[in-house]
Structure 1
Amino acid sequence: MATVQPDGAGRRELTWRALLLGGLLTFVFTAANVYFGLRVGLTFSTALPAAVISMALLRGFKDNSLVENNITQTLASSAGAVATMIFVLPGLVMVGWWTDFPYWTTALTCFLGGTLGVMMSVPLRRALVVNSDLPYPEGIAGAEVLRVGGRSEAGAEESRFGLRTMLFGGLLSVIMAGLVALKLAASEIAQNFRVGGGATGVSFSVSMGLIAIGHLIGLSAGIALFVGTFISWGVLLPWRTSLVAPGTPVGDLVSTVFSNEVRFIGAGAIAVASIWTLLKLLKPIAVGLAGIVAAGRARKQGGELAITERDLPGSVVIGSTVVALFPIAWLLWRFAEGGPVAQDFVPALVASLLFILVIGAVVSAVTGYMAGLVGTSNSPVSGVGILSILVAAVMIAALFPGQHDPEATKALVAYALFATAFVFGIALVANDNLQDLKTGQLVGSTPWKQQLALVIGVTAGSLVIPPVLNLLNKTMGFAGMPGAGPDALAAPQASLISSLAQGVLGGTLRWDLIALGGVIIAAIILVDELLGIRERRMGGKGLRLPPLGVAMGMYLPISLILPTAVGAVLGHIWDKRSEAHSRPEFMKRSGVLLATGIIVGDSLFGLGYAAAVAGLGSDPFAIVGPGFESAAKIVGLLVLGFLMWLGYSHTRKAALKVP
């Protein structure tokens, strides 16, 4: 897809109305994502819904522009990023260190970590967006949304077709999600079963959105995810469950072993794959840094720089990073007061700041790469959080060796979690920012304006997270916290990450499982490198096996991976058939538009449903009760298959009629 190169004359981009609308959307989307993420362990990307809403509301202004709408969606997209801080902050309540979430401490932690994420992702733009062939599925989808919306009134038949295709895809996904909300269709089709002396299972989320994401990520990434899932569910689970004493119900056996053992093997795989990915990115990152220096030199010498190449100046990036360290140091001191860390705080502070900077830089590169590979929604940032908390816990254990009483151990665990929260903020926002910058590259936005908008979005999201967390803490609580009731929110990522910290500092972590994951992914790295040699010999043709994709497949639930892999195969078939058309690129783009519409519809419905659940309680729209589950599974699978067939079939027929 070609990059738009605007001349910059008279374009309205970073406007007050874009900032105000984006800020308002950030408040709403962040609150919804916090609740949804704590309830089911998943958050949804808010960039595409924000783009749709922005176009609908700003269309009434005659001077609105495509790049102005992009600023709104960039700002609002930070809601999905900042809200994911819930994957670590509730751990402080779970371990019993906090009883609630202090407003300014929580808000500043989110803001400072997120702002550092923006700054650390600036040099990555050239390495991972400009000079990379990563697919960026949601970034491309966002560009298609903005382009179609911006051109739909120009009268071009292709633009009208594109808008109709997106709306049709959105309608199909809303129908599917609506049937699930009514309980007429199952949200997941799962079956656990015995394999020899062990057990495993198969699970498939009834989600058109996941299939659409698979269409966008491509066949190589889809195969990598499936290979990882096969390793976990086809090999590791049967093996590890066979070691458990007989008598445990198969469903409980599979769930327990996957959560307590296999997922930790996947965590080790992600850690090693992340390090390998970073090593391979060192050269392009250096090129990106050199590009920033060259751009700054050209600006000082009065040279002209294309709008699409104007990042935040290096002085702002470095200066903001250094300035942020002072309030972070103050927050760390306030947090450590009265505990064992305060007794030897200076070395702990130096180590903590180095940890935040160094590991933050590592995870910003890794999560940016993962966002480019599989999209923001599918990127398992919690896996990078696992790597971060392991490093933090080992660091604290080295600084404060020996046996500690339970209260001192709790304080050390809490400090490790708090320091990791800043790294988490960096990872989450870098994960989101590069996806937005890909959209900006495709529609001709100014990078520094997008980067500034994201800082504003981080600020807005940070202000709303503490009251929402406190409300949920008081009304429902979190599973695993002292006094948690039966209706407590699961908060699965926060539970896992706090368990890791307790395992390291309490001496109970299964390092053998982490190491096994590393060994497995090392073998995958070797296979991928051999495939790379073959690909180069074939002139750039051939499939690869991205190690991070395999590691993500090992770590994430099979219910998320299978529909994504199916979507990757469907997208590949669509693209192959498109090559026989007289306008192959138009036909391929038609598939992208359909997938984009499906994702937008799924996201908008997810937002509305999350709001309904928050206000009305669980399953607010259910019209059938217990006893319909078996029929709902059949209905879900049949309707999903029919709607996907209808979407592709209708889009192909309609595209063939476009002159």
Structure 2
Amino acid sequence: MLAPSEVSPRSLHAVSPMSSPPSELTPRALVAGGLIGSVLAVTNVYMGLKTGFWESGCVLSSLLAFGGLSALARRGAPLSPLETNLSQTTAVSVGAMPASAGLLGAVPALTFLGTQPPGWAVALWGVGLGTLGVLFAFSLRRRLLEEEALPFPTGAATAELISTLHSTGSAYAARARGLWVSGLASVVLTWLRDARGLVPAASLLPSTVRVGGIGADGLLLGIGWNPMLLGIGVLVGPQAGLSILLGSLVAWVGLAPGLVRGGLVQGADFASLSSWLLWPGVGLMAGAAATSLVSQVRALPAALGDLRRLGEHGEGWESTAGQWASRAVFAAILLTLGMAWFAFHLSPLYFLLALVLAFPLCAVCARATGQSDIAPISPVGQLSQGGFGMVAPGQPGLNVAAAAVVSGAASHTSASLWSLQSGRLLGASASRQLFVQLSGLLLGAAVAVPTYFLLVSVHGLGSQALPVPTGLQFKAVAELTSHGLNGMPPSSTLATGLAFTLGVLLSVGARGKLARWLPSAAAMGIGFVVPAYYAVTLCLGALVAVVVGRLRPSATQTVQSAGAGLIVGESLLGVLIAALLALGFLQPPG
């Protein structure tokens, strides 16, 4: 992976003084970026509601943009690396909207708590928070990318991929083959499963196989026919895949039978058991989140310094863009304030308090992303929930809405900085990237919000089809911080405390020499919340990728592209089938 210190900003794309400057902000680049970003937005809604994961799409959108724009360039002007980069910048901004609008966590949590904001308000809310995130990323660009030279590995890898694609034709062919073949296979399997009912959602162990006196099929033990889950496993890797499987085995094989035998849960079904198992799962994730935030405490002084420098830039276009960005912050705040008050029942006072928390925590999130390539979006949201639980006890809805301000802005801050790092290494115009990032917010909201409400109307929140692990986590933390231990299921308090402690210990240990061998606490927590066959299938994808990589190291990039194709194929067709069902053009199979 290419680190910023290894290459100057212009070294990946040099221009002869006698040649004309390469094209960058072109209509075809914008259109391609918008289309690819719409695919990412749909994919992230579908994938996020099912598993809690979402993908920035920097690498995937670069690959798709290069392929699409290369085809157009055969009949027009030659394609430049800067055009490809601008397309991926647009796509990433569009694709991050599900996270910024709270569609994966806060909005489902509010629905569980009895509040359902209207779709148009959620869209405007997401645009406002996304604008704040993009502008804050732009204000941090000089300090984090140039002065401190934080690596932002995903951004550097994106720049390296774009440069390679434009210099080596075979690089695209190898990646594209895996993407399109796996995507087509994913589409066919999803159609046979969801539209025709010829393939089951999962192949479960028979009821004759007993686990603690409960039939294995009741615990949803088996393997799912979900290409998306296989693809996620390929991308997250073996450590995360095995960690999710371990968490699932502890929850559904270890704890679930005892809960039924002890009478702590009435009913040996997914809905009944998950209402109890959710709590230790959240404990694991919260322990990991707390550790992540503590490790970033040293970044707070620098984050406050970043705030003081908001809008301070160099000369020329950079100064103009920086001043314009500073002024646009006020308009974004007013828009989000109006939606917070009207639709999310968050008073102006509490909104401004959330905003005060959002800016330094966005800076902390940006620094963590730059150093580790992991954006701690959920942890900063949960920290906000803890603070508002003390400021406004007994109001879980307010708790969730306030945390959504922080996590929503942080989502676009991290995603934007990945794209800005890629642009810096390729010699792109930061002001043009800022323009397309802001433009992408409107398209992202127009695509992501209807997709969310469509899927929820067809499948229902909290079902096997849409377990919504992040939404359940937001809800559980809100109830815990607002009401204390009252209302928790019997005997779940001790389990949650032990899980939190284990999450802290695993996360601390993962920062030392045992990092390769210890499971991920956050991933284990997800295993407690999703159906067991989700975890088995995801882990299988991770292990298959490892085996193929060991047997054929040269196929590693093709396998990664194939994983992305599996995710995109099922996501797009899954949403299409949901639309056909909602419109009455299809009948539910079986």
What is the TM-score of this pair, normalised by structure 2? Answer: 0.72
Structure 1 segments unaligned to the other structure (5+ residues)? 374-378, 402-411, 481-485, 536-541, 579-586, 627-659
Which of 504, 514, 522 pairs up with 1:522?
A: 504
Whether contact under 8 Å (1:229, 1:554) holds in the other structure is: no
- What is the match of residue 101 of structure 1? 118
* Cα deviation 1:90-111 (Å, max 9, x = unaligned): 554554445x6163x3333111
- Could you tell me how far 1:523 is from its partner in structure 2? 2.0
Which of 389, 398, 405 pairs up with 1:415?
A: 398
Q: Aligned pair in 2 of structure 1 residues 356, 382: CA closer, same or farther (>3 Å)?
A: closer
Which of 530, 549, 558 pairs up with 1:593?
A: 558
* Cα deviation 1:368-412 (Å, max 9, x = unaligned): 888x35xxxxx9966765565454444321xxx7xxxxxxxxxx4
- What is the match of residue 633 of structure 1? none
Task: Kindly report which structure 2 residues correspond to 1:111-150, keeping only aligned pairs within 5 A, or say none.
Answer: 111-121=127-137, 123=140, 136=154, 140=157, 146=162, 150=166
Q: Aligned with 1:531: secondary structure?
A: coil
> Does 1:18 pair with 2:33?
no
- What is the match of residue 107 of structure 2? 89
- What is the match of residue 227 of structure 1? 243
Structure 2 segments unaligned to the other structure (5+ residues)? none
Whether contact under 8 Å (1:367, 1:431) holds in the other structure is: yes
Task: Kindly report which structure 2 residues correspond to 1:517-556, keeping only aligned pairs within 5 A, or say none.
Answer: 517-531=499-513, 548=522
Which of 163, 173, 187 pairs up with 2:173?
A: 163
- Could you tell me how far 1:252 is from its partner in structure 2? 3.5
- What is the match of residue 254 of structure 2? 238
> Does 1:461 pair with 2:444?
yes
Q: Aligned pair in 2 of structure 1 residues 601, 503: CA closer, same or farther (>3 Å)?
A: closer
Task: Kindly report which structure 2 residues correspond to 1:209-288, keeping only aligned pairs within 5 A, or say none.
Answer: 210-211=229-230, 214-218=233-237, 222-227=238-243, 229-234=245-250, 238-239=254-255, 241-245=257-261, 252-253=268-269, 256-257=272-273, 259-281=274-296
* Cα deviation 1:630-653 (Å, max 9, x = unaligned): xxxxxxxxxxxxxxxxxxxxxxxx
Q: Aligned pair in 2 of structure 1 residues 360, 244: CA closer, same or farther (>3 Å)?
A: farther
Q: Aligned with 2:103: secondary structure?
A: helix
> How far apart are the structure 1 equivalents of 2:232 and 2:423?
20
> How far apart are the structure 2 equivalents of 1:185 and 1:233?
25
* Cα deviation 1:418-457 (Å, max 9, x = unaligned): 3333223224324543554565567665555434422221
Q: Aligned with 1:243: secondary structure?
A: helix
- Residue type of the partner of 2:353? A
Whether contact under 8 Å (2:202, 2:224) holds in the other structure is: yes
Whether contact under 8 Å (1:45, 1:80) holds in the other structure is: yes
* Cα deviation 1:453-512 (Å, max 9, x = unaligned): 222212322345566667778x769559xxxxx999876654663465356545424654
Q: Aligned with 1:62: secondary structure?
A: coil
Whether contact under 8 Å (2:230, 2:566) holds in the other structure is: no
> How far apart are the structure 2 equivalents of 1:202 and 1:230?
13
Aligned residues: 556
Whether contact under 8 Å (1:312, 1:448) holds in the other structure is: no
- Could you tell me how far 1:519 is from its partner in structure 2? 0.1
> How far apart are the structure 2 equivalents of 1:50 and 1:165?
11
Q: Percent identity?
A: 21
> Does 1:61 pair with 2:76?
yes
Larger mean Cα displacement after TM superposition, 31-40 or 495-504: 31-40
- Could you tell me how far 1:279 is from its partner in structure 2? 3.6
Q: Aligned with 1:86: secondary structure?
A: coil
> How far apart are the structure 1 equivalents of 2:495 and 2:200?
34
* Cα deviation 1:611-642 (Å, max 9, x = unaligned): 2431355998999x75xxxxxxxxxxxxxxxx
* Cα deviation 1:213-252 (Å, max 9, x = unaligned): 545555xxx2254235414523685235413346899994
> How far apart are the structure 1 equivalents of 2:180 and 2:308?
43
- Residue type of the partner of 2:23? R
What is the TM-score of this pair, normalised by structure 1? Answer: 0.66
Whether contact under 8 Å (2:183, 2:569) holds in the other structure is: no
> How far apart are the structure 1 equivalents of 2:203 and 2:321?
50
Q: Aligned pair in 2 of structure 1 residues 359, 456: CA closer, same or farther (>3 Å)?
A: same
Q: Aligned with 1:460: secondary structure?
A: helix
- What is the match of residue 474 of structure 2? 497
Q: Aligned with 1:182: secondary structure?
A: helix
- Residue type of the partner of 2:510? D
> How far apart are the structure 2 equivalents of 1:251 and 1:353?
43
- What is the match of residue 638 of structure 1? none
Q: Aligned pair in 2 of structure 1 residues 548, 41: CA closer, same or farther (>3 Å)?
A: closer
Q: Aligned with 2:14: secondary structure?
A: coil
